[in-house]
Amino acid sequence: MSYFIPTAAEQIPPAEVAEVELYHPRSWVTKYVFSQDAKVIAIQYAFTAISIGLVALVLSWLMRLQLGFPDTFSFIDANAYYQFITMHGMIMVIYLLTALFLGGFGNYLIPLMVGARDMVFPYVNMLSYWVYLLAVLVLVASFFAPGGPTGAGWTLYPPQAILSGTPGGAGGGIILMLVSLALFIIGFTMGGLNYVVTVLQARTRGMTLMRLPLSVWGIFVATILALLAFPALFVAAVMMTFDRLLGTSFFMPAIVEMGEQLKYSGGSPILFQHLFWFFGHPEVYIVALPAFGIVSDLLSVHARRNIFGYRMMVWAIVVIGGLSFVVWAHHMYVSGMHPYFGFFFATTTLIIAIPTALKVYNWTLTLWRGNIHLTIPMLFAIAFIITFVNGGITGLFLGNAVVDIPLSDTMFVVAHFHMVMGVAPILVIFGAIYHWYPLMTGRMLDERLGRFHFWVTFLGAYSIFLPLHYLGFLGVPRRYFEMGETSFIPESAATLNAFVTVIALIVGFSQMVFLFNLVWSFFKGKIAERNPWGATTLEWQTPEMPPGHGNWGPTLPVVYRWAYAYSVPGAEQDFLPQNLPPEKVTANEGLERPPAAAVQPAE
Amino acid sequence: MTILGIVVVLLAIGAGLYAASRVVPGARNWVLGGFTAVIGLGGLFVAAGSGVDSPVGYYGGLAFFVISVLIVFYLVKLTFDEGYAPAEAPALEGSSSRPVAEAIMTKNVVALALVLVAVGTVAFHFLSPWWWTPIASNWGYVDDTIIITFWITGVVFIAIIFFMAYCVFRYRHQEGRRAAYEPENKKMEWWLTGLTTVGVAGMLTPGLFVWDQFVTVPKDAAEFEVLGQQWQFAFRLPGKDGMLGTSDSRNISSENPFGLNPNDANGQDDVLIEGDDLHLPLDKPVKVLLRSVDVLHDFYVPEFRAKMDMVPGMVTYYWFTPTRTGTFDVLCFELCGIGHYAMRAKVVVEEASAYQAWLEEQSTFAQTLARARNDTGEELYQVLSEGETDSAERGLARWDSN
């Protein structure tokens, strides 16, 4: 008797929800512009996010030029510098990372990976993108507002954010920023509801929750976090707009600005910080969880090995998501909040390290005893682990209240969050683009350009941010236009800053190579085979590649097993696609039959 | 010095690119492209350095940059056209006929790179000249907690990288290799979770102990106040009565910049220091009361290791004991607007006798107020006569309410 006669683990339940008729586009405009197809919307999201991300990249060069070579560039003054850092931070966190992971990868991968024809609410999904685009346009408009964009730092702390001592505070800059955020949240909410409902409602037959690829789990939980966290930012943005425009005092106490008594009274600046970080900390995981999920899949596919400890990985994602709502005030140890909060938030913050560490162990254990193909997605995945562990452990410094006291607002913080939520997730984005580009376009990205891009980006980014930690130890503050005369900062710190700037420009250049690769390969790249990486997940099993309208042809796929059936003993194939019927699995008589429990974790 | 550093870096990059071209055949275009890019960046620096005032350097540098960008893109295109022309097949053959040793080296380059990253990180940590300033307060425990954290996390970091390097080296794809199928190993996962918990507890426990000390101000701590405003620090010390008078930002005016309550007897002898250094006595615990009149600021001396934001509308605090004499920089550590980076002051820590002598010389609130009233009386008259009634009226209204 062959092992591959369907066992309990490979049975499929009957469909519980009938299929819903799709919207069919009739013209070029409804197919490619006002499209309701999640795949097109995903590309639109990704294109917009990367475009605005390039603005943030250029801003980072400008600020690095100032830090590396102060007093050199006539076009960078303190005003402009603060605007650069603010817009760079805001664009990267919200308009690039959040939008690209959830709007881009979420839209593309969720319906395909769960075996759905599209999102559950395609029209709302389309609206989501257009409201996001509007938010980006309002953000861009703030560059042209009188007085320029806001320079309040991406945290937008009042009172300074809406006072005249801050760039854009008295002009339109801050208002456009707040309006843009509110629009972004409205747009995101429409998309986010879609992702959650689609995962819960539109999975195909046999696709149980515990058979979902971890990419979907990561995006799913991150979306839930975002739906719960963004309203806090929305409220804060609305209140601050009122404070600025109507003279209310939500966040504004009695203030004497430049010798003049302002009319505000009774508000609390710390209240804003609580609202901001109640959003802001889950935001870190809104970016990190999709990266966790995607990198798990990249490691598994390219190491030809099941993800190690799938169930623990799922639970870790859920636990991290839950805990991320009770750690926010670790950003506020020096804010002047009640000091006893420190005990609570330090404890919760360090506890969150435990499930996170478990994920790291399981990633490395996925490599262990694997059959590792050092493809470009795999390289990026490995680099992610290194930068993420590095950034994660510096988080253990900053999360521990007493260690945070000397380090907060130094370059150490800058280095920490760039490593953990800048470099690490972006490496995953790159890996994911190299991995799924063939699916999206039918062509492979160029290998040599990719390797060049990988090595320069990984080693460059690491050597940018590693030394900055040490400037932080020294006591170099963040958000300083220039250091001026400071007795405790040696001359060598300026040399280091110049070095970092040069590396940053080189890393920036290698991103141009990546963009070139995206465009060049689209027209001239090697034609991709079907399922070029040998992946089990459903997105590679569509009848056409790239997947067509409605994804699946006449009938929906049926799922027989989990997403990680790589190198299953007893099967001749290296991988068993999720929808491969058990009778089509070729048994390899030479191998021993595994115990039934080993095939897939029980549900 | 800076220029020398850049030159060294550029040379290193050049050497690296050359070495890469020896290992990977057909990398000539890449090396050329890399050099051109570097030269182009140099052009950008030249342009920036000379500024618009010297058009030769400015436009020359910019032209250099633009041209090198074009060359780089042309080289990239060239490489790709070569790579995908019919010549592709021989190129592949060529690579497979490379010596076996070289092939193995290329394959293991990833594992090697991982090891180098780990070793480089450790080397940088120990060789870095950038480290804590020598401590000048009682918060040595903070430094100790950081050292504990460094050891625990450092060991984990290095272990993980070495383990990955081992996996990449040992389990790299080879013909006929098949990965082990092992969905999970509960025992191992629980062990790892348990060990991590121990490590986390090892960092959290000392952290919470020291935090308890940090938030518990000793009874004998002497109070003084730091007042932040865009973009300067001012200081207030209690007078002979040892008590600071009450304050309210509604009292703030040009003659009363601290907003002290003029009717509070405790405040009359408060010592006010504006635009001058703060002095503190050695080895005496102090509680810093922090106040701001406009936006968030933060009073931080890196050598003291302790900081707290100054928040308008409330009084925040922390405590420390200066343990070393000297003059230290005070920096604002919370973004407070365009002049944030220039918001500085100095603290002088000195022996008690020198401190007392300095304190005697400072003027009190009563003195400054009397002086200011004499001055502003005249100013007010001038303002009124010039017809700027608006601000003057508000000034008068405040006088009435008091």
Looking at this predicted complex, what is its ipTM?
Answer: 0.90
Exposed (0-12), middle (13-18) or buried (19+): which is B368, by Cβ within 10 Å?
Answer: buried
Q: What is the pLDDT of residues B203-258, one digit of tens each?
A: 899 999 999 999 999 999 999 999 999 889 999 999 888 888 898 888 888 888 88
- Give me the DSSP letters along A91-107: IIIIIIIIIIIIIIIIH
- The band of B401, judged by pLDDT with boundaries at 50, 70 and 90, is very low
Residue of B nearest to A480 (CA): B341
Residue of A nearest to B141 (CA): A402
Please, are residues A102 and A291 in contact by the beta-carbon 8 Å criterion?
no
Rounded CA-CA distance A428/A424 in Å is: 7
Task: Give the three-state DSSP class for B382.
Answer: helix
Using the Cβ of A12 and the Cβ atoms of chain B, whether some distance falls under 8 Å is answered with: no
Lookup: tokens for A313:
């990985």
Give contacts of A257 with chain B, Cβ < 8 Å.
230, 294
Say what percent of chain A tops pLDDT 70: 94
CB contact (8 A) between residue A393 and residue B156:
yes
CA A525 to the chain's CA centroid: 27
Mean pLDDT lowest among A207-216, A316-325, A335-344, B79-88: B79-88
Dihedral of CA B312/B313/B317/B322: which sign? positive
Using the Cβ of A401 and the Cβ atoms of chain B, whether some distance falls under 8 Å is answered with: yes
Say what percent of chain A tops pLDDT 90: 79
Q: What is the pLDDT of residues B49-103, one digit of tens each?
A: 666 667 777 777 777 777 777 777 677 666 655 554 443 333 343 444 444 554 5
The pLDDT of A430-445, averaged and rounded, is 95
H or E, element range at B234: strand B232-237
Q: Please enumerate in sequence order all residues whose Cβ is within 8 A of that of B58, keeping only pairs 6 or more positions apart, or say none.
A: B47, B50, B51, B52
Residue of A nearest to B27 (CA): A448
Give contacts of A564 with chain B, Cβ < 8 Å.
183
Q: Please enumerate in sequence order all residues whose Cβ is within 8 A of that of A534, keeping only pairs 6 or more positions apart, or say none.
A: A301, A304, A574, A575
Residue of B nearest to A309 (CA): B184
- The band of B177, judged by pLDDT with boundaries at 50, 70 and 90, is confident
Mean pLDDT lowest among A141-150, A241-250, A511-520, B381-390: B381-390
pLDDT of residue B27: 61
Rounded CA-CA distance B206/B219 in Å is: 23
Give contacts of A254 with chain B, Cβ < 8 Å.
248-250, 312-313
Q: What is the pLDDT of residues B312-347, one digit of tens each?
A: 999 999 999 999 999 999 999 999 999 999 999 999
Backbone angles phi, psi at B309, to 5 degrees: -70, 155
- The DSSP symbol for A331 reads G
Rounded CA-CA distance A497/B9 in Å is: 13
C-alpha distance from A549 to closest chain B C-alpha (Å): 32
How many CB atoms are closer than 10 A to CB A23?
A: 14
- The residues in A 102-121 lying below 8 A from B, measured between CB atoms, are none
Cis before A577? omega within 30: no
Rounded CA-CA distance A475/B97 in Å is: 55
Q: Residue type at B11?
A: L
C-alpha distance from B360 to closest chain A C-alpha (Å): 28
Facing A486 at nearest CB: one of B10, B313, B329: B329
Please, are residues A90 and A152 in contact by the beta-carbon 8 Å criterion?
no
Whether residue A213 is predicted with pLDDT greater than 70 in this model: the reply is yes
pLDDT of residue B77: 64
Q: What is the pTM of this model?
A: 0.85
Lookup: tokens for A278:
């109640």
How many CB atoms are closer than 10 A to CB B162?
A: 15
C-alpha distance from A138 to closest chain B C-alpha (Å): 23
Using the Cβ of A536 and the Cβ atoms of chain B, whether some distance falls under 8 Å is answered with: no
- Integer-rounded Cα radius of gyration of chain A: 25
Task: Give the three-state DSSP class for B113.
Answer: helix
CB contact (8 A) between residue B312 and residue A255:
yes
Q: What is the pLDDT of residues B95-147, one digit of tens each?
A: 444 445 545 555 678 888 888 888 888 888 888 888 899 999 999 998 998 99
Q: Please enumerate in sequence order all residues whose Cβ is within 8 A of that of A216, keeping only pairs 6 or more positions apart, or say none.
A: A109, A110, A113, A114, A199, A293
- The DSSP symbol for A538 reads G
| Residue spans of alpha helices (H) in A303-326 | 310-323
- Integer-rounded Cα radius of gyration of chain B: 33
Residue of B nearest to A81 (CA): B338
C-alpha distance from B381 to closest chain A C-alpha (Å): 19
Using the Cβ of A365 and the Cβ atoms of chain B, whether some distance falls under 8 Å is answered with: yes
Facing A477 at nearest CB: one of B117, B296, B331: B331
pLDDT of residue B381: 47
Q: What is the pLDDT of residues A156-192, one digit of tens each?
A: 999 999 999 999 888 889 999 999 999 999 999 999 9
Give contacts of A350 with chain B, Cβ < 8 Å.
200, 203-204, 207
Whose CA is closest to A405, among B341, B300, B201, B340?
B300
- The DSSP symbol for A27 reads S
